Structure 1
Amino acid sequence: MTDDGTILIGRSPAGGPGGSGKPERLTLRLANRHGLVAGATGTGKTVTLQVMAEGFSNAGVPVFAADIKGDLSGLAAAGEAKPAFVKRAEELGIPYEPDRFPTVFWDLFGEQGHPIRCTVMEMGPLLLARLLELNDTQEGVLNIAFRVADENQWPVIDLKDLRALLTFLSENLKEISGTYGNVSAASVGAIQRQLLMLENQGADKFFGEPALNLSDFMRTDREGRGFVNILAADKLMQKPRLYASFLLWMLSELFEELPEVGDLDKPKLVFFFDEAHLLFNDAPKPLLDAVEQVVRLIRSKGVGVYFVTQNPLDVPETVLGQLGNRVQHALRAFTPRDQRAVRAAAETFRQNPGFDVAKAITELGVGEALVSFLEAKGTPSVVERALIAPPQGRVGPLTPAERAALIAQSPLRGKYDESVDNESAYEMLAKRKGLDAAPAEAAQDSEGGLGGLLGSLGGMLGGVLGSKPAPQGRGGRRPPQSLAEQVVSNAARSMARSVGTQVGNAILRNVLGGLMKK
């Protein structure tokens, strides 16, 4: 569906209100200016998303999309020449040509696609605190835990590593509080309880290795078409905080790892975030500020972000203002909030004097939308009423057998399917306890009583915590990172991964937190 660097999304019908008869095309060169697809349930958002994903794939642009209902999996199978599709294609002046698209399936739980994993340190304390629903005090304790692990070069890979680290904190509250600030047993206990709840929900499968290499999202097939990466999100939607935290982590990872490229002829990657309101519900202001900054700046990395949601009011105004390409399906104005949403949606468009935009939003039929895409100079086009093009792939989900067959033929088969448990904080802390046990017993035998026990405990803590760390090169330890150093350390992650050392892993920090401190 590409023609001269554009994707055909639909056509404005000739005659009638808002009908100019011109094709509505999304310019690939401006597709990294992000976008919004909005509309009430059942008005055609998913089909519009599919049409856009197919167009990007045909143009050689890889796509990532969360599949909430399973319908997007049909992209991997050729569509059918249904009468409604053939008629719509005729109305648009194009032939209907069924097609299938290169697709890779992913699943955080590893059931309907390749598993997706990240390490606890990659997730970072800010997003992890939101995932665990921690209060400010508990989030502060979690930050201290990350700092202790970083300074002692204990890689925190999975949840058992984090539990071991929290146990270490609870066993050494006095010494850690004296160095980093107050840490209470109640706060540590609260974090541990939330971790248990997270594990019971199956989220422990998300944390571990091999961690996702985001370059695997940016692949093309032999014909040069971009792979459509589909995340099975039907079960994930039952855990909205995990869904939101995962998407925000992935967005921030892309921002951190990809180089600056400016404006390209077409994006490197396009993300579709369905049910976008889950990204922002109950999010603290620092997190919203960080998301806004990532959305604003990731454009220069060649990544386009498209939010899909029912109501434009679901997206904060600061983020909504960054979305240049708009497709607005019908909204229902039954409640005062719905009426505000209609007015807000209408006001965000460049007005068309030919019709009442707010009224048109409530009158759109299924498969119709108001569209406004960026023009050559980056200015939004006048809003038009358009018929959305029919998708070339299947509309509807694959069967379980079809999905299983495609997963078995995946180019990434075997790379992520089995988890790996490398030595990390859990094993290092267990080993430390084992090494310190013998000296403690010897000291108690020779000196006897409480004095020997306290002496051995003091020796152990002195080796781990010590006094205030000396600068690197004068004692072999580096001082706590300043805010500027934390930002710089974030940028070193890709290099650290290539080196593959424990020192590299220790540098991994909180991406969004680093961005907030810029």
Structure 2
Amino acid sequence: MKAGIDAPTGYGCAAGRQSLCGSASGTGRQLVSEVPSIFVGGGGAAHGQPQVLLLDHGNRHGLIAGATGTGKTVTLQILAEGFSAAGVPVFMSDVKGDLSGLAMAGDPAGKLHAAFMARAATIGLDLQYRAFPVTFWDMFGEQGHPVRATVAEMGPLLLSRLLDLTEAQEGVLNVAFRLADEEELPLLDLKDLQALLVFIGDNAGDISTRYGLVAPASIGAIQRRLLVLENEGGTGFFGEPALDLADLMQTDPQGFGRINILAADRLMHSPRLYATFLLWLLSELFETLPEVGNPDKPKLVFFFDEAHLLFTDAPKALVQKVEQVARLIRSKGVGVYFVTQNPADVPDTILGQLGNRVQHALRAFTAKDQKDLRLAAQTYRDNPEFKTEDAIRDVGTGEAVTSFLERKGVPGVVQRTLIRPPSSQLGPIDPATRAQLMAMSVLRGKYDTAIDRDSAYERLRARAHKAAAEAEAAERGTAADPQSDPGAFSRGRRYDGGSSRTPAPKTARRSSDSVGEAFAKSFARQLGTKSGQALVRGVLGTLFKKR
């Protein structure tokens, strides 16, 4: 039977896989499950009934909270095992590098084996070690398949959050996205956005007339924030091939859901990038997946570790977006589980939607800690056998106060629970094993090589070529074909915009020029100045080096 399933009749206990289901027969409280569920823990003289997470309520979201070192990682691991065993794909971030052990079976000769078997005997679990199908991802492409998204997919709201822009700067970014749509300038990577901002800055007057005030100071601030993002390693995240959501929702040939692990130990050095990426992924799932109502089991379960990073200093509009996604995405079959140290890290409007809860110990060393402890206890359905506030303070490592949704979505009575030991390896795998698993991955080669196709940067560059050639030809009084004149662009770099030469007659300019054409001509004139030459070296230099 499958690992993490709560009863012999649990979900997916097919022939040949019976050894993967947990049994609660050893506690004197035989577990009888009428619906598929995940066995989380329980048992022992001081603890209540065995606790299970019903699979048909797995998309009702959840919370895993507790102080550092109280066992949140193990809880995260055993829930991932249970969902995978039930055929549900999982996405989770590995902040400390510990979760890669899901890809390897637990070690019967390991130093924790005796403790695990003792815990299993206490809660009546027939513990069997096994590995689970894992796909590794890494935004930097070092410890997993590269993860990418286009600038257009990220959108102005999330990008503004990522860059920590003011309201005025966010307005300018919205203008850039609008202009890109109208001028058919695909925004795929950061250099596309940077090139577009150059055009907007050079033509701020024309743009302001059409879209509202575009202050050069705001453009400069955005460009500086993009430079910071580049320095933090964010350049590699924007581009193609972009992540295909279908690759996160796979099962292996045996029917186990694949566990997608995002290497986040390095990414955590850029917490805003980390939080924005995960929120983008949630938003993409929300916008892409069809409505499924109340499925028998989730289509995907999403664990958001270090969830407080999502809400710290977040603008009201962003918090409202998270609330909307959390409220509506469950009808798409996606369960979201927030993992954080304190439930107070999650806004009340979102906390109220988290029906499945595992609360590890909270320490009350200060007056604020004591207040947070009381507030956390008040969110549970009271158990007459103990005081919830005391239980949250007193539970030890590997124990928790739990409450899972019962039939018809009713919150369960809070229970003190001994968390079951994992079936997979506790702790990280070594780099050689990770490399071997990646070499065997079903996605090998799909995302490894970045693609730089025709987009805003290339199209603006082509317009600059053409405008430079036209300007040079206008000075000579002849027509020029920029495609047949390879020196046109280099001459355009020396063009001084008419400061030392006779400008073209005004009648030669069409009053019906599009915004894009006006940009291109202005950009060509700018290329002749020293600042324009520096711009070409800065914006276009990388491309020339590659060629």
> In 2 relative to 1, CA 121–397 (structure 1 residues): closer, same or farther, beyond 3 Å?
same
CA distance in 2, matches of 1:12, 1:337: 33
> In 2 relative to 1, CA 277–444 (structure 1 residues): closer, same or farther, beyond 3 Å?
same
1:172 aligns to what? Answer: 203
CA distance in 2, matches of 1:416, 1:454: 51
Pick the aligned partner of 1:157 from 188, 203, 209: 188
Paired AA for residue 329 in structure 1 = H
Pick the aligned partner of 1:80 from 107, 123, 132: 107
- Note the C-alpha offset of 1:265: 0.5
CA contact (8 A) 1:440 1:453 kept: no
> In 2 relative to 1, CA 210–294 (structure 1 residues): closer, same or farther, beyond 3 Å?
same
- Note the C-alpha offset of 1:438: 2.4
2:58 aligns to what? Answer: 31
2:363 aligns to what? Answer: 332
> In 2 relative to 1, CA 10–224 (structure 1 residues): closer, same or farther, beyond 3 Å?
same
Deviations 1:27-70 (A, max 9, x none): 00001000000000000000000000000000000000000111
CA distance in 2, matches of 1:12, 1:457: 84
Paired AA for residue 71 in structure 1 = D
**Which secondary structure state, in structure 1, belongs to the residue aligned with residue 320 of structure 2?**
helix
Computing the radius of gyration from Cα coordinates, the structure with the larger value is 2
Paired AA for residue 397 in structure 2 = V
Deviations 1:416-466 (A, max 9, x none): 011000000000001011112222233334499665276667669535278
1:54 aligns to what? Answer: 81
Paired AA for residue 324 in structure 1 = G
CA distance in 1, matches of 2:64, 2:81: 15
2:90 aligns to what? Answer: 63
Pairs aligned (count): 463
**Which secondary structure state, in structure 2, belongs to the residue aligned with residue 377 of structure 1?**
helix
2:38 aligns to what? Answer: 7
Paired AA for residue 312 in structure 2 = N
TM-score by length of 2: 0.82
- Note the C-alpha offset of 1:312: 0.4
Q: How does 1:378-457 map to 2 (within 5 A)?
A: 378-446=409-477, 452=504
2:21 aligns to what? Answer: none
1:462 aligns to what? Answer: 514
Paired AA for residue 173 in structure 2 = L
CA contact (8 A) 2:70 2:361 kept: yes
CA distance in 2, matches of 1:119, 1:453: 42
Q: How does 1:3-402 map to 2 (within 5 A)?
A: 3=10, 4-14=35-45, 16=46, 19-20=47-48, 22-81=49-108, 82-402=113-433
1:474 aligns to what? Answer: none
Structure 1 portions without partners, runs of 5+: 467-518
Deviations 1:472-494 (A, max 9, x none): xxxxxxxxxxxxxxxxxxxxxxx
CA distance in 1, matches of 2:165, 2:254: 48
- Note the C-alpha offset of 1:344: 1.4
Structure 2 portions without partners, runs of 5+: 11-34, 479-497, 519-547
Structure with the larger RCO, 1 or 2 (CA within 8 Å, 6+ apart): 1
CA distance in 1, matches of 2:266, 2:515: 45
Paired AA for residue 238 in structure 1 = H
> In 2 relative to 1, CA 131–351 (structure 1 residues): closer, same or farther, beyond 3 Å?
same
When structure 1 is superposed on structure 2, of 179-188 and 219-228 the one drifting more is 179-188
CA contact (8 A) 1:444 1:453 kept: no
**Which secondary structure state, in structure 1, belongs to the residue aligned with residue 51 of structure 2?**
strand
CA contact (8 A) 2:43 2:122 kept: no
Paired AA for residue 203 in structure 1 = G
- Note the C-alpha offset of 1:12: 3.8
CA contact (8 A) 1:105 1:229 kept: yes
CA contact (8 A) 1:117 1:208 kept: yes
CA contact (8 A) 2:56 2:298 kept: yes
CA contact (8 A) 1:107 1:233 kept: yes
Paired AA for residue 349 in structure 1 = Y
When structure 1 is superposed on structure 2, of 444-453 and 131-140 the one drifting more is 444-453
**Which secondary structure state, in structure 1, belongs to the residue aligned with residue 504 of structure 2?**
helix
CA distance in 2, matches of 1:237, 1:48: 21
CA distance in 2, matches of 1:390, 1:57: 16
- Note the C-alpha offset of 1:357: 0.4
Identical-residue share of aligned pairs (%): 61
**Which secondary structure state, in structure 1, belongs to the residue aligned with residue 416 of structure 2?**
strand
> In 2 relative to 1, CA 458–359 (structure 1 residues): closer, same or farther, beyond 3 Å?
farther
> In 2 relative to 1, CA 184–92 (structure 1 residues): closer, same or farther, beyond 3 Å?
same
CA contact (8 A) 2:147 2:237 kept: yes
- Note the C-alpha offset of 1:192: 0.8
Paired AA for residue 56 in structure 2 = R
CA distance in 2, matches of 1:195, 1:454: 37
RMSD: 1.7
CA contact (8 A) 1:57 1:227 kept: yes
1:470 aligns to what? Answer: none
Paired AA for residue 79 in structure 1 = G
> In 2 relative to 1, CA 128–463 (structure 1 residues): closer, same or farther, beyond 3 Å?
closer
**Which secondary structure state, in structure 2, belongs to the residue aligned with residue 95 of structure 1?**
coil
1:505 aligns to what? Answer: none
2:492 aligns to what? Answer: none
CA contact (8 A) 1:32 1:267 kept: yes
CA distance in 2, matches of 1:85, 1:465: 70
CA distance in 2, matches of 1:421, 1:209: 7
> In 2 relative to 1, CA 458–275 (structure 1 residues): closer, same or farther, beyond 3 Å?
farther
